[in-house]
């Protein structure tokens, strides 16, 4: 995961990977991909695809939630980019 306060300068987040394969959790033991983060109410919801096994494993969809406690996690740019 990368983060940016202004949308121009990006840094790698300290908490990478956000979610990783776990051999102790069979349904997401091999591959996690295709992440999508959605803000809803006072939380961020991240949906992802996961696979049990490398070949021929079943595909599943998972979700994790991060409560925001009223904090704004995203910063919008003050003005749009100018195309040159």
Global pTM value: 0.62
Residue 75 lies in a domain: no
Residue 79 lies in a domain: no
Residue 56 lies in a domain: yes
Q: How many helices (H) and strands (E) does the chain have?
A: 0, 5
Chunk the chain into consecutive blocks of 10 residues (it has 84) and report each block's average pLDDT, rounded to whole numbers: 81 79 87 86 87 83 83 56 57
Predicted confidence at residue 47, as pLDDT, reads 92
Residue 55 lies in a domain: yes
Q: Domain span at residue 15?
A: 2-67
Question: What's the number of domains the chain is made of?
Answer: 1
Residue 80 lies in a domain: no
Predicted confidence at residue 81, as pLDDT, reads 55
**What values do phi and psi take at 27, rounded to 5?**
-70, -15
Predicted confidence at residue 70, as pLDDT, reads 65
């Amino acid at each position: 995961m990368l983060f940016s306060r202004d949308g121009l300068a990006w840094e790698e987040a300290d908490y990478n990977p956000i979610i990783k394969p776990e051999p102790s959790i069979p349904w997401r033991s091999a591959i996690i991909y295709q992440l999508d983060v959605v803000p809803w109410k006072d939380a961020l919801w991240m949906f992802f695809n996961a696979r049990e096994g490398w070949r021929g494993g079943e595909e599943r969809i998972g979700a994790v939630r991060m409560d925001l406690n009223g904090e704004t996690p995203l910063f919008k740019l003050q003005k749009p980019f100018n195309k040159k």
